[in-house]
Structure 1
Amino acid sequence: MTAPVTILAVDDEPVNLRLLEAVLAPRGHRVLQATSGAECLDLLSREDVDLVLLDVVMPGLDGYEVCRRIRGDERTAFLPVVMITASDAQQRVAALEAGADDFVRKPFDQSELLARVASLARIKRYHDTISAQRTELERWNGELERRVEEQVTQIERMSRLRRFLSPQLAEVVMDDESLLASHRREVVVVFCDLRNFTTFAETSEPEEVVDLLREYHRLLGDVIDAHDGTLERFTGDGVMVYFNDPFPCVDPVDRAVRMALEITSSVQERAVRWHRLGYDLALGTGIAQGYATLGRIGYEGRYDYAAIGSVTNQAARLCAEAAPWEVLVPDRLVATCDGRLQTRQLGTRRLKGFTRPVEVHDVVAIAERAG
């Protein structure tokens, strides 16, 4: 037994409609009836039909015109249409030219009618399956395009963020911006800048200054990233880096000191070439450890991630005190390293903005941690 289908029977003679229903309904098919071409088109606009049995000769819109209109509608263009015709060849040719898929002669043979209904309904179902698959494929393609576009946007956003933020901050912003909310944490802050840079900038062409800064920043940036430092900002020749935020790290003092010494060594090597060009430049560095409030500051449309607190001020003041190639740290930081720091004790210094004097050391080297 063939699967039941919905059939629209169209004939202006009620007796013919009753006969068609008597043949088709017992096979489980749902039979809709229309007594005119206009009623047929109206039903097709409202019902989901699998096949149309369409009489040729009807008042008003005849079967040929109805078939042409069915084919002209995008929604029903592939709907199977069987024309019920007289036996002459001219009507059969006209039915095919109007767009009919098949025809049945009057008076129709029941077995032939049922076979044609089953065959065309099967083709309709194939077409419906293909249409549904095409629709699903288009939906999936649209979803894939949307996801690709989102990923490209994310990649472009990350690329832009990495140009202005440290890799750690870029990752945080992409994954969870709530992590940038204000919080308090112990950090190790490193400040460094170039000695004699102001004089160099005053006596050099702007292009020379920019080229040197690009070289200097690129050199520092590679070292900072290698030690997983968080770069807060470049301020001309000045650089501020801190450790233990936004992600806590193991032994931030060790990381900070090793980075500072590597930066000093790298810039010192580069300064040999600068000296040949007539640039009398050197590096000074300050490192401090303490609690700071960290988080996003700024205004809508332009934010920075910053560390606020006396620890940043102390690192900056130590940097300002440093002679060429010195890496200055307070006595408290030396004590946290369990004797691993090799330093030159420089004595007590009064740092601007601090009421208490600070015992200052110049770091020469750092030993590996035992074990």
Structure 2
Amino acid sequence: MITILVVDDEPDLEPLLLQRFRRQIRAGQLAFLFAHDGVEALSLIESHVGIDVVVSDINMPRMDGLALLERLQQTDEDVSTVIVSAYGDMANIRSAMNRGAFDFVTKPIDFTDLETTIDKTLRHITRIREARQRQLDAERAHAALSRYFSPNLAERLAIDAQRLNGGERRDVTSLFTDVTGFTKLVEAIDPTVLAALLNDYLIGMTDIVFAHEGTVAKIVGDALHVLFGAPGDQPDHASRAVACALELDAFAEEFRRRWSCDKGIDVGATRIGAHAGPAIVGNFGGGRFFDYTAYGDTINTAARLESANKPLGTRICVSANLADRVDGFGGRPIGDLLLRGKAEALRAWEPLSEAALADPATRSYHEAFAKLERNDSGTIAAFAALVGQRPLDGLASYHLKRLLNGATGPRIDLAG
């Protein structure tokens, strides 16, 4: 319902208006209030919530229409004003329009003209309300989306948050992170210290994700689930994911060093797993919550690759399906992993930074792995020499141990 306040000192105007707009009044479309001057009008505006339109004469006792209009401009009241004045009083009408009046009608009042003017004013109010609602919806959406998406993407999506509802099948890269031994750490340190540590860690990690325009689908404790290629198209989502993984790893290692040196708290290594392929993505919050997430084998495989880092001695483990999509991918082959729930093994890689790729030990690893694939008799010696050079190389140590226990070839069963 639209409420119209009519401010005029002519006693005959009230019954005429009520008669003219009786159908709209009975239908509950319009309601009228009446005041005889600006002072009475301000009192009514203060006591009645939801007055939408003020139709005011200019010439009135105590407070005229121009003074009323000026007072309305000084308040937070959101009303549209229509000024009524004699045709010859165009100076006052111009003054009223300059002070913010939406429109005017002339005296003697032509009720057909007044009805047209009121209809136009109501359409104006509707447009303003719809625009403000869209703005409010966008602000609320932006606040929610900023938890998941980079600032630029959140701003774009907030304009049309409805596009995220439901599900769609997309080609994506799924990336999982997890901190080793975090549960034990939670039990061992003061809650206030834990809060500071976790906030420091998650802010740094999510800033990196957003810098690569990734989507944070989930944060559970210290763990992140990140998507590339959704909700917007990213033809290079695989490259973004690998670059992001390397930067996340570098940050996490520096984070560990900093908290160990500065606070004396030993934080476990961050393990990262990633895989590319089809997934169903969308907002699956049931209409009550915003929960942008993804489902499918691609997601499950990425999560299992993250877990595979623990026995393998690596920090980053990605599928060959992902690595093959990245131009100039650089890393070390891990082996053909048989993951839990999988019938076939999948080739996995450890991405490396440019500095690690240039390390002579990386070439030695490639040579040792080539012997492993050929079942060369010198495989054990090659990995033993590598471990002798780099005792902290977890992946080389893992291969040496399994070879000494009688394993052969690159197939690694992690399904048990």
1:256 aligns with 2:244: no
CA RMSD, Structure 1 to Structure 2 (Å): 3.9
Q: Is the 8 Å Cα contact of residues 275 and 281 (structure 1) preserved in structure 2?
A: no
Larger deviation: 179-188 or 217-226? 179-188
Q: Is the 8 Å Cα contact of residues 267 and 283 (structure 1) preserved in structure 2?
A: yes
SS in 1 for 2:341: coil
Q: Deviations over 1:327-355 (max 9, x none)?
A: 101222223335x2222222222212222
Shift in CA distance, 178/77, structure 1 to aligned 2, threshold 3 Å: closer
Q: In structure 2, list runs of 5 or more residues that go unmatched.
A: 1-9, 18-35, 42-55, 61-85, 105-120, 356-416
Q: Deviations over 1:230-279 (max 9, x none)?
A: 11011111101111111111311111000010010011111102223222
Aligned length: 264
Question: 1:160 — aligned with what?
Answer: 143
Taking the TM superposition and a 5 Å limit, the aligned residue runs for 1:1-371 are 78=59, 124=89, 126-127=91-92, 135-136=101-102, 150=133, 153=136, 156-167=139-150, 168-169=153-154, 171-276=156-261, 277-323=264-310, 326-338=315-327, 340-365=328-353
Q: Deviations over 1:103-140 (max 9, x none)?
A: xxxxxxxxxxxxxxxxxx77555556656776426979
SS in 2 for 1:295: strand
SS in 2 for 1:255: helix
Offset at 1:41? Answer: 7.7
SS in 2 for 1:249: coil
Q: Separation in 2 of the partners of 1:43 and 1:159? A: 48
Aligned identity (percent) is: 24
Shift in CA distance, 148/305, structure 1 to aligned 2, threshold 3 Å: closer
Shift in CA distance, 291/280, structure 1 to aligned 2, threshold 3 Å: same
Amino acid at match of 2:329: L
Q: What TM-score do you get using the length of structure 2 for normalisation?
A: 0.54
Q: Separation in 1 of the partners of 2:14 and 2:145? A: 59
Amino acid at match of 1:153: L
Offset at 1:199? Answer: 1.4
SS in 1 for 2:290: strand
SS in 2 for 1:347: strand
Amino acid at match of 1:266: F
Q: What TM-score do you get using the length of structure 1 for normalisation?
A: 0.60
Q: Separation in 2 of the partners of 1:199 and 1:149? A: 49
Shift in CA distance, 337/129, structure 1 to aligned 2, threshold 3 Å: closer
Q: Separation in 2 of the partners of 1:347 and 1:44? A: 88
SS in 2 for 1:289: strand
Q: Separation in 2 of the partners of 1:44 and 1:202? A: 75
Offset at 1:190? Answer: 0.8
Offset at 1:366? Answer: 6.6
SS in 1 for 2:102: helix
Q: Separation in 2 of the partners of 1:285 and 1:251? A: 19
SS in 2 for 1:300: coil
Rg larger in structure = 1
Q: In structure 1, list runs of 5 or more residues that go unmatched.
A: 1-39, 48-68, 80-120
Question: 1:51 — aligned with what?
Answer: none
Larger deviation: 145-154 or 320-329? 145-154
Q: Is the 8 Å Cα contact of residues 252 and 270 (structure 2) preserved in structure 1?
A: yes
Q: Separation in 1 of the partners of 2:92 and 2:183? A: 79
Amino acid at match of 1:166: F
Q: Is the 8 Å Cα contact of residues 278 and 296 (structure 2) preserved in structure 1?
A: yes
Larger deviation: 149-158 or 236-245? 149-158
Kindly report structure 1 stretches of 4+ aligned residues shifted beyond 4 Å: 40-47, 73-77, 121-134, 137-152
Q: Is the 8 Å Cα contact of residues 178 and 306 (structure 2) preserved in structure 1?
A: yes
Offset at 1:360? Answer: 1.8
Q: Is the 8 Å Cα contact of residues 326 and 363 (structure 1) preserved in structure 2?
A: no
Q: Is the 8 Å Cα contact of residues 190 and 315 (structure 1) preserved in structure 2?
A: yes
Offset at 1:365? Answer: 3.1
Q: Is the 8 Å Cα contact of residues 239 and 325 (structure 2) preserved in structure 1?
A: no
Question: 1:11 — aligned with what?
Answer: none
Offset at 1:203? Answer: 1.3
